[in-house]
Amino acid sequence: MALPVEEWRRIAARRWAALEPALRERLAAAPLGEALRVGCGLFGPEDAALRRLCGRVRTGKEPAAARFYREEGNRRFGSCRYRDAARLYSQAAAHEPPRSPEVALCFANRSAALFHLGYFEVCLEDIARAESHGYPDRLLPKVLLRKAECLLRLGRLQDATDTLTAVENKMTVDGIMTSPIHLTLLKKLNQLKIEIHEGRGCPEPSREAHVDIQRESEIWEENGSISGASSSLSLNFNTERGRHLVASQDILPGQNLLKEKAFVSVLCPGEGDSFLLQDSSETVWDTQVTNADLYCHHCLKQLLASVPCCGCSYAKYCSQNCADVAWEQYHRTECPLGALLLILGVFCHVALRTVLLAGFSEVSRLVEWSHDDSNKDLCSAETGDKLPSEALDTRAGTKGIPGCNDNGQYQSSYQAVFNLLPHVEKHSSEHKFLCMLSIVAMCKKLQETGLEAAVLNRGSSTMGSEQKTYGKTSDELSPELMIIAEAMLRHVLQLQCNAQAVTVMQELESGDGAVVNKKPVRLATAFFPVLSLLNHSCSPNISVSFSGTVATVRASQPIPSGQEIFHCYGPHRCRMRVAERQQLLSQYFFECRCQACLDELESDVESVSMRNSFCCPSCQASMQGEEMLCCSNKACALSVSRERLSRRLLDLQQQMEKALELLRDSKADEAIRVLLKCQMDARNFLSPEHLLMGELEDHLAQIYATLGKWQEAARHLERSIQLVEMHHGPSSVEMGHELFKLAQILFNGFAVSEALSTIQRAEEILSVHCGPQSTQIQELQEMKTCLLELPRSILQRT
């Protein structure tokens, strides 16, 4: 949720409407600093409403919530749903106070779930956490036996022997050897001793937590002027296109062009206000899984056994190191503001974290620099204003281009972030007022709670300690906070055009895991200053992939020397017609004149619209028109409103979701019946090439794969692939993901020759878009190796 919650937006809108017209005009025309000074005087009545909203967001430690999640985890564990149990134990641990027996119990319970999932190394880490947090002495033998069994599974026989000796000594010292529990433990201990004596090393491989990372760095020559960029790129600047990257030599498909770590990133908590806001009288805790439960709040790696923040229940990390680094760099300030940051939205959160990472000294320097009129000329040039010819000489190289340092280098730095365009004059006055009021509210809270010193880098808080309140209640912010506020307001306005969505292919949890089904999800919002140099095209020539907080840009097609490097900001020519794309792109304050748009406008052919169009419910001919659709078959001439068919499409999508829920509940046969009925209904009013027809085939393939009916699964997925190729092209990343799924199905169905040819096609596509070291490429190569190692007689038969 980029913007504040809807209730706060309504409050700001009412406040704006109540202002005197003269004051609205003054705020609309005022520079950022002046607008904030006026806003500080206006902020007051909204404070109580904002406090009420924050009271409805739970980010603190709640023992009752911990008990709820632990009991829910126990129920899932008892039903052998170990992955669900592990996540619920993580949520319980997040609500328990640090270094307490209760949080130790959560870690111990989670270690049991991880053991059953085969994550032995991570299980050992959780056992160590349980011990360090004061796990009850009387329960220790059971956990130590689990530790010994993990060590045995990992082949660490001596460590396993030492652990068993410690368990035996512990049980002897306790002197209680006759209770049923202790007798069970003794039996287990003796069994493990026999296994060690017989030298059973590792009967099953230990699973590693799945994270989509690059295993090796690709060799390339880095650019001397643009940090993280290939030497095959150059930075150009002109008044028409602003800053942009151009190929300085011929570039091949799949070539690595840029690898950049985000200057700042903030995890997106979830979609919709209902996820955040609860009625103050409610005490119901939700077991819904969100990004906050699945990914590290610092490095964005996938979580398996999270380390909770010591001060709040919201932030979770993949390791103690990430927790410590986050606390030192920014979370010591953000932790007490958790509810407020969730209310004000991700853009405000990114703005705060940006200035915390930059440090007050650098923020102050650049804010002061921006007040100098002589430095506004270059920035004006990028917005289309005329620039004096002497202000910029591109023949001198990159020196003087906005964002470059004194040596002419464009680095992934705060200076580069600060110089991204905020488009102050193009945002609506009401939107700027909302952003200003939100920033004032945040700075007032920083001042009130005594966090100003931490923001100004003048002191530090102890991790997990109670925050002292040194409150200032003045209507005015201190001069230092005013500087911070101006920088944050600038960053919030920048984000509308410069925010980069960090996306991942997230596994869908359904079926038996034989075929991994994934969907793209927005994971975080980030500033990538170098990536932001790329201009938009509805038909881009690059692909962007993410590994944690690192973005990698690769050429998706041949790029000749001199051609500009284009990114797609969202609306792609394969997904929507030109009018829809232009409407969506208006948020970036430009009219797209890319070649794809120009070609479609000139030809007046809207192939995407035709492929995603409705057909006549009576004769299945195509429907034409805008609000009222008419059958193109003159003999039929049926008319129906677009709204009516759109409602029918929405009902169909809801039925498809119901089928997937049935699959998650292990009711595959019912799910198939629902989807087949959906397919019959869809044929009555959707064109045969509609993307939803492909989604139906994809879902049917998924269910048949769950049932082990590999031929049926492959047949349905091949139909889906035909539609994906029609919409996205034979070399698209979407095509690569579909072929990856087909390769898994053919591999599991033992269709060796078909599997090998599909693996080769998937490899060719995904290596271009994701790189040769990506997780999917590695899995494809493992499948290929396994198939090629089969006896020749089997290969010949298949």
AA letter at 96 = E
Angle formed by the axes of helices 429-448 and 346-358, nearest 10°: 60
Inter-residue contact 160 to 192 (CB < 8 Å): yes
Largest separation between any pair of C-alpha atoms in the chain: 93
Q: Looking at 200-204, 280-284, 647-651, which range is the least confident one?
A: 200-204
- Residue 373: the pLDDT is 62
Q: How sure is the predictor about 740, in pLDDT bands with cuts at 50, 70 and 90?
A: very high
AA letter at 321 = N
Is residue 755 classed exposed, middle or buried when 0-12, 13-18 and 19+ CB atoms within 10 A define those classes?
buried
In this prediction, residues 739-751 reach a mean pLDDT of 93
Token pair of 794, please? 């089997």
Could you read off the pLDDT of 551-563 as tens digits, one per residue? 999 999 999 999 9
- Residue 250: the pLDDT is 95
Name the residue with higher pLDDT: 403 or 195: 403
- Residue 798: the pLDDT is 54
How far apart CA 360 and CA 365 sit, in angstroms, is 8
Residue 331 in this model has a pLDDT that exceeds 90? yes
Contacts of 572 (CB under 8 A, 6+ apart): 538, 539, 540, 581
Inter-residue contact 751 to 713 (CB < 8 Å): no
**Residue for token pair 């002046």:** 34
Token pair of 415, please? 């200076």
Strand, coil or helix: 696: helix
Q: Looking at 115-119, 179-183, 335-339, 389-393, which range is the least confident one?
A: 389-393
Q: Locate all alpha helices (DSSP H) within 247-359, ordered by sequence.
A: 273-276, 291-294, 320-326, 332-334, 338-344, 346-358
Q: How sure is the predictor about 201, in pLDDT bands with cuts at 50, 70 and 90?
A: low
AA letter at 352 = L
- Residue 450: the pLDDT is 86
Strand, coil or helix: 200: coil
Q: How sure is the predictor about 277, in pLDDT bands with cuts at 50, 70 and 90?
A: low
Is residue 655 classed exposed, middle or buried when 0-12, 13-18 and 19+ CB atoms within 10 A define those classes?
middle
DSSP for 373-390?
Answer: GGGHHHHHHHTT----GG
Q: Could you tell me whether strands 628-631 and 623-624 are parallel, antiparallel, or unpaired per DSSP bridges?
A: antiparallel
Residue 11 in this model has a pLDDT that exceeds 60? yes
**Residue for token pair 């060799």:** 219
In this prediction, residues 532-550 reach a mean pLDDT of 92
Name the residue with higher pLDDT: 76 or 509: 76
Backbone dihedral angles phi then psi of residue 609, each to the nearest 5 degrees? -60, -40
DSSP for 466-523?
Answer: PPP------SSPPHHHHHHHHHHHHHHHHHHHH-EEEEEEEEP--S-SSS--EEEEEE
**Nearest of 227, 223, 230 to residue 254 by alpha carbon:** 230
**Nearest of 100, 46, 47, 44 to residue 70 by alpha carbon:** 100
Q: Looking at 133-142, 293-302, 323-332, 434-443, which range is the least confident one?
A: 133-142
- Residue 394: the pLDDT is 40
- Of the candidate CATH numbers 3.40.50.880, 2.40.70.10, 1.25.40.10, 3.10.180.10, the domain formed by 656-796 belongs to 1.25.40.10
Is residue 784 classed exposed, middle or buried when 0-12, 13-18 and 19+ CB atoms within 10 A define those classes?
middle
Inter-residue contact 8 to 50 (CB < 8 Å): yes
Residue limits of CATH 1.25.40.10 in the chain: 63-198, 656-796
**Nearest of 135, 117, 119 to residue 127 by alpha carbon:** 135
CATH class of residue range 63-198: mainly alpha
- Residue 235: the pLDDT is 93
- Residue 157: the pLDDT is 83
Token pair of 39, please? 């806003």
Name the residue with higher pLDDT: 585 or 597: 597
Residue 316 in this model has a pLDDT that exceeds 50? yes
Q: How sure is the predictor about 470, in pLDDT bands with cuts at 50, 70 and 90?
A: very low
Element at 414 (helix H, strand E): helix 414-418
Could you read off the pLDDT of 662-702 as tens digits, one per residue? 988 889 999 999 999 999 999 999 988 888 999 999 999 99
Contacts of 371 (CB under 8 A, 6+ apart): 33
pTM (two decimals): 0.86
